[in-house]
Amino acid sequence: MAELRYEKLADDFAGLIAGGVLRAGERLPSVRRLAQERRVSISTAVQAMRQLEMRGLVEARPQSGFFVRARPPALVSAGGRATPEAPVAVDLNQRLAAVLQANQRPGVVPLGAALPASELLPVAALHRRYASVARRFPLLLNGASHTDINDPPLVRQLVRRSLAWGGPLDADEIVVTNSCTEAMSLCLRAVTRPGDTVAVESPGYYVMLQLLESLGLKALEIPTEPETGMSVAALDLATRSGQVAAVLLVANASNPLGSVMPDESKRKLAQLMAARGVPVIEDDIYGDLCFDARRPWPIKSFDSAGNVMLCASFSKCLSPALRIGFVAAGRHRQAVALQKMLSSGGTNPITQRVLAEMLESGAYERQVRVLRRQYQGQVEQTMAAVERHFPAGTRMARPLGGLVLWVELPEDVDTAALWRRAIAENIACVPGDLFSPSGLYRNCLRLNCGNPWSETVAGAVKRLGELAAE
Ligand SMILES: Cc1ncc(COP(=O)(O)O)c(C=O)c1O
């Protein structure tokens, strides 16, 4: 059934409260103002406020209006599980392939893969830029050399942009890649050998686990907090005995938790790993998409030893179809560049120049500014809908950036079974155990919030909640 107007209005405000835009004790606009601004009737505005009151989110104070209540108890952070002390072999590829493939079927509501809706991406601008670059620089296709893997104008732009987050990067340490996934794969190959152990976040991004599996590496799960990211204390313990060959993590808006490590933790991690000679592979794909007004710095900016390899791409801001990213590999530059040559010989020169021009013209910056707010709104809408429709006892992480939401259901809910029922009804999501090589998080799931809020998305989240309650 289509959502009623007052429900929609209430959901909007619930989202703002869940996301911390409206804080405890703050006054909501009067119903009269609300009616005017949102172009609804007074009675719709009143009903919306009553809804929020019933949901425990706001309280009415005589003669003064509606105020945000202290945080509702249901909305606490998930995570913080006890992880295995020993490294484990990763065996997820087969199951993941089945889940991801089914999630991608046409007609499925895309709450699975962490992907933006294409309508949010500057596809037309990219088309124009490709045509223009191809026309103006015909020599770009005259045979790029396998030893000349970077387009200098792009490297210049990447260095310039890094000034916004504690750079500058050194132009010589940059290797342009086909995606962030390739960047991470190259780094792993450069600094590990089959059988080695890599410390990862728990819960952590499943493609990272797949990379470990494909390279014959073991994973050591490090507890990761919903707001502050990987526990540096746990990593400290885990790396004392010399058994860890590398650390692989997302410090800014981790996937799936949306956590951002505080600067102090980043500094400590950088220093500790440099002192122990454990290379850090940092995935900063969401760095530009954090919700705070100040763009968080990556661990890389706290590293003076060249020990951190920073990987990123333009998949979440411009288009995942571009397949372009980079790594700033510090002292591992040569080893990474060698792996790049062996792996794919280079990166399409036209795409590199297109990206260089998108960065130089300011188009990228404008896109990021809009998209950051868009993703934040979508995450908040999803949080509000989960709070409303999921069974009692459901908890959520509170993402500080990115476009996914981690949901923890009551203990007895098996999200692998929930996924099977959901996908049979053409609703995608990703079961929680795929974010842990030891199969933790069986009662959790991750929702993609990359799509503008719509009746279809709202209906799918609601239905997931109903299935979970069954
Ligand atoms: C943390 C993280 N890293 C990397 C990627 C993939 O990036 P790319 O498309 O550049 O390989 C994703 C996409 O979901 C992601 O969430």
Q: How far is the CA of 395 from the centre of ligand 1 (A)?
A: 25
Q: List the structure tokens of 64.
A: 């003064």
Q: What integer is the mean pLDDT of 10-14?
A: 85
* Intervals of CATH 3.40.640.10 along the chain: 121-364
For residue 255, the ligand 1 atom closest to its alpha carbon is: 1
In whole angstroms, give the CA distance from residue 352 to residue 176. 8
pLDDT at 71: 57
Q: Report, in angstroms and rounded to the nearest whole number, the Rg of the chain calculated over CA atoms.
A: 23
Specify whether the backbone of 306 is left (phi greater than 0), alpha (psi in -120 to 50) or beta: left
pLDDT at 73: 41
The CATH architecture of the domain made up of 121-364 is 3-Layer(aba) Sandwich (3.40)
Q: What is the pLDDT of residues 301-340, one digit of tens each?
A: 999 999 999 999 999 999 999 999 999 999 999 999 999 9
**If you count them, how many residues does the chain have?**
470
Q: Residue 133 — pLDDT band, cuts 50, 70, 90?
A: very high
What is the share, in percent, of the chain residues with pLDDT greater than 90? 80
Q: What is the pLDDT of residues 237-276, one digit of tens each?
A: 999 999 999 999 999 999 999 999 999 999 999 999 999 9
pLDDT at 63: 85
pLDDT at 58 over 90: no
What is the share, in percent, of the chain residues with pLDDT greater than 70? 96
Q: How far is the CA of 179 from the centre of ligand 1 (A)?
A: 8
pLDDT at 79: 53
For residue 284 and ligand 1, the question of a CB distance below 6 A is answered with: no
pLDDT at 433 over 70: yes
Q: Residue 1 — pLDDT band, cuts 50, 70, 90?
A: very low
Mean pLDDT across the chain: 93
- Name which of 228, 290, 250, 255 is nearest 19 in CA terms: 290
For residue 315 and ligand 1, the question of a CB distance below 6 A is answered with: yes
- What is the model's pTM? 0.86
Q: List the structure tokens of 295.
A: 């763009």
Tell me the range of 62-66, 386-390, 409-413, 418-422 where mean pLDDT is highest.
418-422
Lowest mean per-residue pLDDT among 37-51, 168-182, 343-357, 439-453: 37-51
Higher pLDDT, 171 or 10: 171
SS3 331: helix
pLDDT at 145: 62
Cβ(337)–Cβ(168) under 8 Å?
Answer: no
pLDDT at 379 over 50: yes
pLDDT at 96 over 80: yes
In whole angstroms, give the CA distance from residue 210 to residue 199. 14
For residue 324, the ligand 1 atom closest to its alpha carbon is: 10
Strand partners, 172: none
Tally of CB atoms within 10 A around 227:
16
For residue 326 and ligand 1, the question of a CB distance below 6 A is answered with: no
pLDDT at 2: 47
Chain centre to alpha carbon of residue 135: 35
For residue 407 and ligand 1, the question of a CB distance below 6 A is answered with: no
SS3 317: coil
Q: How close are the terminal C-alpha atoms of the chain, in Å?
A: 20
Identify the burial level of 7 via C-beta atoms within 10 angstroms of its C-beta, where 0-12 means exposed, 13-18 middle and 19 or more buried: middle
Residue minimizing CA distance to atom 16 of ligand 1: 255
In whole angstroms, give the CA distance from residue 70 to residue 17. 10
Q: Residue 147 — pLDDT band, cuts 50, 70, 90?
A: low
Q: What is the pLDDT of residues 176-234, one digit of tens each?
A: 999 999 999 999 999 999 999 999 999 999 999 999 999 999 999 999 998 899 999 99
Q: What integer is the mean pLDDT of 396-415?
A: 95
pLDDT at 80 over 70: no
* Dihedral sign for Cα atoms in the order 319, 324, 328, 329: positive
- So what CATH class is 5-68? mainly alpha
* Intervals of CATH 1.10.10.10 along the chain: 5-68
In whole angstroms, give the CA distance from residue 450 to residue 111. 8
Q: What integer is the mean pLDDT of 421-431?
A: 98
H/E stretch holding 416 reads: helix 415-424
For residue 181, the ligand 1 atom closest to its alpha carbon is: 11
In whole angstroms, give the CA distance from residue 294 to residue 353. 28
Q: What is the pLDDT of residues 102-120, one digit of tens each?
A: 999 999 999 999 999 999 9
